[in-house]
Amino acid sequence: MKAQNTSISAMAVLESFPIGRRRLRSYWAREEKQLGRKHSWEEFLAYAESLKPKGIDAAETILRVVIYENPYARLPLTRELFTGPLDERFGPDGDNIKRVFAGGRVLELEAEEAAIRADE
């Protein structure tokens, strides 16, 4: 099949990244692991409130950009754009479409979450 649209280089999506919720989930998983048991909803709410003075608020969001490259673009969008700490980019890598960039803060969050899952 022949490529239909080569004039669009990429789609840029501006989205609200739930950084507070992701951070709270990591702290919460560590807390449950240390205590060796699951907590009740009331305990969770109290714990979430106790973290607010430490700068962790579940409602905190940050705007970020996610780029979806058109693999058939005549003029591809340069990969030097949109490389912030929470930005991500998906595009062609060989014959596949996959994530080709993730900002440093995204990678840190994913590493924290993976370490918690590995300990479960």
pLDDT tens-place string over residues 25-74: 887 888 778 777 787 888 888 878 888 888 888 888 999 999 999 998 98
C-alpha to C-alpha distance for 88 and 82, rounded to whole angstroms: 8
Distance of CA 91 to the CA centre of its chain: 16
DSSP 19: H
- The answer to whether the CB of 41 falls within 8 A of the CB of 62 is no
Residue 65: count other Cβ atoms within 10 Å of its Cβ: 18
Q: Name the residue among 69, 93, 68, 78 with its Cα closest to residue 15.
A: 68
Q: What is the pLDDT of residues 82-106, one digit of tens each?
A: 999 999 999 998 889 999 999 999 9
C-alpha to C-alpha distance for 120 and 117, rounded to whole angstroms: 5
